[in-house]
Structure 1
């Protein structure tokens, strides 16, 4: 069961400000950093698997990213140098305190989520390679932010020390082929930069709202929600992988078109289809040249027709598969299943959360209240089942 507290913890990362003791030319939120980190982790892991097929346990990688986000949300007030010192000397005690804080929220989640969460932080032999990839991705994402921060903070005491520490950590992970590629190949670095730019694109850009969320952070929220829904469905490993990363990349074309709000898309007949056509053309021209050709089919599977239920078997993509068929006939890795309709539900729910939290905090323009009402009614009438759970239950938490 997906709990209200767990959803609140995830969304809390949108309110956590990074580098808030530095001059910041723009806001940096924890959810954006974590989203960028997971995109970088995907990139590193893909390169590692090209070199050594099967070397990455993708479920451990996905879960590790979620575990680290939740851990970060709980200990957010601790500055990194102090945090690392505490973890070195009192890591077991701090982790146990974190487990206690999250127990009610994560205990009901299916798939031994709580047990895996505890093992991830307590057992040094659990998912060591995936931890290393995530650690490398963490510092690369941090460095991406720091390159912006550094220009405005050269006068600060210890800024060079921070710079050297980040560079030292990146160098420590240089044995990973994926890290080498990101640092030395202009195209793949361009892909990482392009994804990072999505943190500058605000959701609901014309509507006052708190906390502000970017397209980048929104994609991670949708990805995490889709992971939990996949657990509810008892999804096979490949289905969980597809659902998570399709969600993580589903709005990637918006880096080329910006976040065009739904009312505008639907205001003129055929406009939504025209925008989609433009996104395909621009993605082919500007996104795909940045990544290895071997990845193209998977990325197309994720960002085109992203809200369609589909399978990818024997080099053929079949769309229009029903949820029942995905659950009963195609819930095997060999079919490469993807729950596009569920992804759409998670996407809508994330938008509902964005409106709900702002309204809760007292910023409630009519656009947000109307959106919240409309999305709620849509799923009240739909009766979408996710495993044993009616999806409306999640909406009812915040209605």
Structure 2
């Protein structure tokens, strides 16, 4: 999973803002969640779990394949329409050997039906990435090719729907860019920089896996809390826990401000009123048993970030100290025994 932190998108072009595969995965999943929430049509067959599984089916093969540029992939598919599916299937077989077949099957079932809103979210996020970098550099070609693919979505969605979802995507893009631009462990030297959005995608994936192994229901609650758990930081910035604990009651004040700013963001869009029911999950994502799963995943993702730094040769003591701190917190909080996961990571770095 941590490979997704280092695979740079649009790597054959100059960029104003670099997006990693982890950033793109989270941003697309978040937009899918928003689209599903505000949709007027019944989505009973296409919930957020299906959206996550489809996202994982597209992203996890890249752990093996790295990134393939949009232009190359498009042209290959023109000559041989089925070749990319074969490449993806072989990459999944490689993943099963790298990890284990049971884990891969949990994350990526054999049959996944793609919702048109997920495809649209995927295209819109790619378009917005290209548009962001196209403010300075020449992204004419990818923007043209993405626009052609978006226009073909009229076969599944009306023009009015496409325009509505485009307005939503543009509005949601602002906090997503904030999360992508925010570097974790900001005051500390990093060899492998991780953003809040990239971290969030790893949290969602780990929380989903733990939830499935723990047979937690409803699993959608775990996924949604994971998606939203760092959203308030898009408005407030990252206020680290030691700062919140400096003065008694400061953490409650920060939570109040986070709720107010998240509510204002939702209220300022005519399309997002249905998101109001999720505000408390964004501000307090770690409550109840589902929150315990999300908290464990959050700690595990942070432990992985420490492991990356140690493994890359970063000698700062903070990463070793926090590795063992998170190891202790994970064992205290996890609803399932994940000691073998931690052992595997420890064997690599120590």
TM-score interval, smaller chain: 0.7 to 0.9
For residue 77 of structure 1, report the CA deviation from its aligned partner. 4.4
Write out aligned runs for 1:53-72 (5 A). Answer: 53-72=43-62
Which deviations, in whole Å up to 9, do the C-alpha atoms of 1:312-331 show, x marking residues without a partner? xxxxxxxxxxx5xxxxxxxx
For residue 173 of structure 1, report the CA deviation from its aligned partner. 2.1
Write out aligned runs for 1:1-399 (5 A). Answer: 10-48=1-39, 50-87=40-77, 88-104=81-97, 105-109=99-103, 112-113=105-106, 117-120=109-112, 127-128=113-114, 130=115, 132-154=116-138, 159-174=139-154, 175-176=156-157, 179-184=162-167, 189-236=170-217, 239-290=218-269, 291-297=271-277, 299-309=278-288, 323=289, 339-380=290-331, 382=332, 384-386=334-336, 390-399=337-346
**Pairwise CA RMSD of aligned residues?**
2.3
| CA–CA separation in structure 2 for the residues paired with 1:232 and 1:76 | 28
Which deviations, in whole Å up to 9, do the C-alpha atoms of 1:178-232 show, x marking residues without a partner? 64323246xx632332223210111111111132111111111111111101110
TM-score (norm 1): 0.78
SS in 2 for 1:108: helix
Matched with 1:328 is none
| CA–CA separation in structure 1 for the residues paired with 2:299 and 2:44 | 34
Confirm or deny: 8 A CA contact 1:230 1:240 kept in the other structure.
yes
Confirm or deny: 8 A CA contact 1:211 1:358 kept in the other structure.
yes
Which deviations, in whole Å up to 9, do the C-alpha atoms of 1:248-296 show, x marking residues without a partner? 1111100111112222222333222221121112222234433532331
**Residues 55 and 204 of structure 1: is their aligned pair in 2 closer, same or farther, counting only changes over 3 Å?**
same
| CA–CA separation in structure 1 for the residues paired with 2:171 and 2:25 | 19
| CA–CA separation in structure 1 for the residues paired with 2:173 and 2:15 | 21
| CA–CA separation in structure 1 for the residues paired with 2:106 and 2:5 | 23
Which deviations, in whole Å up to 9, do the C-alpha atoms of 1:33-62 show, x marking residues without a partner? 1111111111222233x2235252433222
| CA–CA separation in structure 2 for the residues paired with 1:268 and 1:277 | 15
For residue 392 of structure 1, report the CA deviation from its aligned partner. 3.1
Greater CA drift, 82-91 or 166-175? 82-91
TM-score (norm 2): 0.88
Confirm or deny: 8 A CA contact 1:252 1:303 kept in the other structure.
yes
| CA–CA separation in structure 1 for the residues paired with 2:83 and 2:190 | 39
| CA–CA separation in structure 1 for the residues paired with 2:162 and 2:320 | 44
Which deviations, in whole Å up to 9, do the C-alpha atoms of 1:48-100 show, x marking residues without a partner? 3x223525243322211111111233222432232244452523532332122
**Residues 243 and 47 of structure 1: is their aligned pair in 2 closer, same or farther, counting only changes over 3 Å?**
same
Which deviations, in whole Å up to 9, do the C-alpha atoms of 1:8-28 show, x marking residues without a partner? xx2210110111221212322
For residue 383 of structure 1, report the CA deviation from its aligned partner. 6.8
Confirm or deny: 8 A CA contact 1:36 1:141 kept in the other structure.
yes
SS in 2 for 1:359: helix
SS in 1 for 2:199: helix
| CA–CA separation in structure 2 for the residues paired with 1:11 and 1:274 | 34
For residue 140 of structure 1, report the CA deviation from its aligned partner. 0.7
For residue 162 of structure 1, report the CA deviation from its aligned partner. 1.9
SS in 1 for 2:102: coil
SS in 2 for 1:13: helix
Confirm or deny: 8 A CA contact 1:383 1:392 kept in the other structure.
no
